Amino acid sequence: MYERLSDSADTIGLFCRLHMNAKKNLPVRSSEMGVLIYTDKQEGPVTPLMVSSFFKVSKPTITALINSLVQQDYLSKTMSTTDGRSYTLSLTSKGSELVRTTASVFFGNLETLEEQMGTVEFQTFISLMKQANEILLKEEG
């Protein structure tokens, strides 16, 4: 059993490294790009708590990512008029341009997988990944 689990861990680890290495040409870290894409996809105002909840990471971690993106002029903060500590996020024109021009780099591996696996197998793969995520989230719980 140990050998089977070890092989499984190696396979998952390699997949994660290959997926992350494909994003090395981005001008921001992959985690920062994730925040930009998330912000871009939302219909209404985005708060740090929304980002933290979506990515399942602590609010201080998200605050550090946000501050970096604001400093690089990819995100802007709009302070709340009722609570001086609260703010919403929006993409700057530079952030919007980055999302628009680099989405194909960010999603390139997934496009390759879908093309080479075929749509049905790719959807099965994604479905199994979602199921695995749900199980692990419950275990964290």
The token pair that represents 3 in the structure block? 């050998």
pLDDT value of residue 23: 60
**Cβ atoms within 10 Å of 86's Cβ, excluding its own:** 14
pLDDT value of residue 13: 84
Q: What domain range is 23 assigned to?
A: 2-140
pLDDT value of residue 109: 81
Q: Give me the tens of pLDDT residue by residue for the chain, a chain 141 residues long.
A: 778 788 888 888 888 777 766 666 788 988 899 999 999 999 988 999 999 999 989 999 999 999 999 999 999 999 988 877 889 999 999 999 999 988 777 778 888 899 999 999 999 999 999 999 889 888 876
Q: Where residue 49 sits, what CATH number does that domain have?
A: 1.10.10.10
Number of domains in the chain: 1
CA–CA gap between residue 64 and residue 32 (Å, rounded): 10
Q: At what angle do helices 119-140 and 93-117 cross, to 10 degrees?
A: 120
CA–CA gap between residue 111 and residue 18 (Å, rounded): 14
The answer to whether the beta carbons of residues 50 and 36 sit under 8 Å apart is: no
CA–CA gap between residue 12 and residue 16 (Å, rounded): 6
Q: What separation in angstroms does the CA of 139 have from each of 36, 66, 130, 136? A: 28, 28, 14, 5
pLDDT value of residue 26: 81
Q: Which are the contacts of 99, defined by CB distance < 8 A and separation ≥ 6? A: 36, 37, 40, 91
